[in-house]
Amino acid sequence: MSRRFVRYFLTLAFALAVASAQSRPIPQLVKQDGKFRLMVDAKPFLMLGGQVGNFNAYPDLMERAWPGFKAMNLNTVEYPVYWNVIEPEEGRFDFSGFDRILTGLRSQGLRAILLWFGTWKNGAMDWAPNWVKADPRRFARVIDSGGHPIRSLSPMSKVTLEADRKSYVTMMKHLREVDEADRTAIMVQVENEPGSLGSVRDFSPESNQLFAGPVPAPLVAALKKKPGSWKEVFGRIADEAFNAYYLSSYINAVARAGKEAYPLPAYINVWNGGYGTNDNFERFDRPGESYPSGGAVAHMLDLWKANAPAIDAIASDNYHQNPITYLKVLDSYARPDNPLLIVETGSGIAARAFFYAIANYAAIGFGLMGGDWVPGPRLDMAGVGADFRLAQGAIPVITELQGTEKLKAAVEERGTGARNLIFTNYDVMVRFHPPGRQAAESAGPFPATAAEPSGRVLIAELGPDEFLVMGFGSAVEFRPVQGSDYTAAQLLSNEQGLYENGVWRTTTQGQTAQGDYTGPIVRLPESGALVKVKLMRY
């Protein structure tokens, strides 16, 4: 091969690489027309995610989990990057496993969310490297009120912050190098359920001195409080607020430095706690005891939002199975300054929670805690796999209508047989498991458990007389709104189908004749379906 040809070939390869890097814009979290959008490849994205268990983010295990990811219809995998694995000795980095995992997911057409297990993991320090753990004089631990060190690093330590930040930035620089052209990674979680588990705050002498002093003026101003000591400004939650302030300052500094290297959207996740979010009646719900102190729990959200601008989203992990508490958490985190993002949830309620989250709270993503994905997904998560199967093609419709009155969910709960939804021209009645039809309907690959309510429907108003209906185990009836010129409606078409590359393909023509029914009714089998409905009013 001539040298000229080699040079030509290399130039061409370089040009193609640059073109491909340029053709994929960096993922972004933006707020447009009052609503949040996670933009991936310049298009609104809905993260249909699954998180791997804490001990599973090693290349061999990840590769064996690929079929599990597919079976659950994920478009994104959330997985830890362990500080102790990428920097086993101070300043010596090993990205071999990191690269293999990322390339593997890319080869499967999946996106990635990297979870930085750095200074904090569930309020403790378990994935910090041994050179950090074994040197408490240099890397200070939280000192509890009895004067004892706990298994959690202190958010007051500038030395630990520096070490974490250096490592995180090195990872982000490396990520940019290996992923800029493909954008497999779409977001980064900075730390994991940060906070101090075992003490409400650091009671070291230096920390006590700061606690006795005034609350920093910018924080007082941002929260519109009167200046004063921590106790004066925050009263009974002063210790927790103090810890939250230093924790959010620390994590903001790590995230900001990471964004300078590679500006992917950054978020934190939260171990819930306090003020009625604990369903466990055996425990008092107190910071540092039942949940890590200083994390962005609902009553610390204003503080975190004010003090950590480099964090684009605060995502509450939601393991509640009681719908009252589950929805209370969604209510707290979907705010004008915070998109709803669920990165950890699971078990029975999750299949219904997906519908609440995407339709009623405009969630930008929904991620299951899947644990060990080998040899296959957990059976109790199967309902969510079915949800994702229906939702994946409909993402453009869902993201377009999220945050408007044109997208709503009706979800079955114990004691609720039906729900009414109101749209522009129609009132819609959703009946869950209406009598007389279940026997004929196939149970499908993902049968609902008898104990768990499973009826769930999402309705998208596509036009004045046109709807997309997506869901399971329900009958959906349409009636013109009261007070309009019309008294009744009839079905013009009732097509089951799916979206392929954004284009609707009808697979089955459903009934339009109403027979002995009182109104135009669309039926969704227990196994789920996506139905396009055209109606007319008369």
Spatial separation of the C-alpha atoms in residues 256 and 433, rounded to whole Å: 50
Burial 421-454 (b: 16+ CB within 10 A, else e): bebebbbbbbbbbbeeeeeeeeeeebebeeebbb
Which of 144, 240, 312, 317 forms a contact with ligand DGJ (CB under 6 A)?
317
Contacts of 264 (CB under 8 A, 6+ apart): 26, 27, 172, 175, 185, 186, 187, 188
- 195 vs 453 by CB, closer to ligand DGJ: 195
Task: List the interface residues with ligand DGJ, window 461-520 (CB under 6 A).
Answer: none
Q: Does 122 bind ligand DGJ (CB under 6 A)?
A: yes
Q: How many residues in the shown chain lie near ligand DGJ by CB under 6 A?
A: 8
Spatial separation of the C-alpha atoms in residues 384 and 390, rounded to whole Å: 10
What's the closest the beta carbon of residue 169 comes to ligand DGJ, in angstroms? 23
Which of 119, 157, 189, 192 forms a contact with ligand DGJ (CB under 6 A)?
192
Instruction: Find out whether the peptide bond into 309 is cis, omega within 30 degrees of 0.
Output: no
Q: Does 312 bind ligand DGJ (CB under 6 A)?
A: no
Q: Report how far Cα 50 is from the mean position of its chain's Cα atoms.
A: 9
What backbone torsions phi and psi does residue 144 show, to the nearest 5 degrees? -80, 180
537, 489 contact by CB (below 8 A): yes
- 184 vs 192 by CB, closer to ligand DGJ: 192
- 54 vs 199 by CB, closer to ligand DGJ: 54
What's the closest the beta carbon of residue 80 comes to ligand DGJ, in angstroms? 7
What's the closest the beta carbon of residue 350 comes to ligand DGJ, in angstroms? 13
What's the closest the beta carbon of residue 347 comes to ligand DGJ, in angstroms? 10
What's the closest the beta carbon of residue 103 comes to ligand DGJ, in angstroms? 24
Spatial separation of the C-alpha atoms in residues 87 and 85, rounded to whole Å: 6
Q: Does 114 bind ligand DGJ (CB under 6 A)?
A: no
Task: List the interface residues with ligand DGJ, window 355-374 (CB under 6 A).
Answer: 369
Which residue carries 């939250």 as its tokens?
Answer: 244
- 120 vs 211 by CB, closer to ligand DGJ: 120
Q: Does 54 bind ligand DGJ (CB under 6 A)?
A: yes
Which has the closest alpha carbon to 223: 203, 208, 237?
237
Q: HSE of 77 in the Cβ direction (CA atoms, 13 Å)?
A: 32
Which residue carries 């429907």 as its tokens?
Answer: 457
- 51 vs 243 by CB, closer to ligand DGJ: 51
Structure tokens at 193: 């359920």
What backbone torsions phi and psi does residue 35 show, to the nearest 5 degrees? -130, 150
Q: Does 290 bind ligand DGJ (CB under 6 A)?
A: no
Which has the closest alpha carbon to 528: 291, 354, 327?
354
What's the closest the beta carbon of residue 128 comes to ligand DGJ, in angstroms? 15
**Residue whose C-beta lies closest to ligand DGJ:** 193
Q: Does 313 bind ligand DGJ (CB under 6 A)?
A: no
What backbone torsions phi and psi does residue 464 show, to the nearest 5 degrees? -55, -35
- 62 vs 219 by CB, closer to ligand DGJ: 62
Which residue carries 């890397």 as its tokens?
Answer: 139
Other C-beta atoms within 10 Å of 287: how many? 28
Q: Does 193 bind ligand DGJ (CB under 6 A)?
A: yes
What's the closest the beta carbon of residue 13 comes to ligand DGJ, in angstroms? 40
What's the closest the beta carbon of residue 298 comes to ligand DGJ, in angstroms? 17
What's the closest the beta carbon of residue 25 comes to ligand DGJ, in angstroms? 30
- 179 vs 317 by CB, closer to ligand DGJ: 317
Which residue carries 């730390």 as its tokens?
Answer: 191
- 326 vs 472 by CB, closer to ligand DGJ: 326
What's the closest the beta carbon of residue 461 comes to ligand DGJ, in angstroms? 37
- 214 vs 371 by CB, closer to ligand DGJ: 371
What is the per-residue DSSP string for 278-294?
---TTS---BTTTB-BT
- 347 vs 474 by CB, closer to ligand DGJ: 347
Judged by the rule CB under 6 A, the positions of this chain that interact with ligand DGJ are 54, 122, 192-193, 269, 317, 344, 369
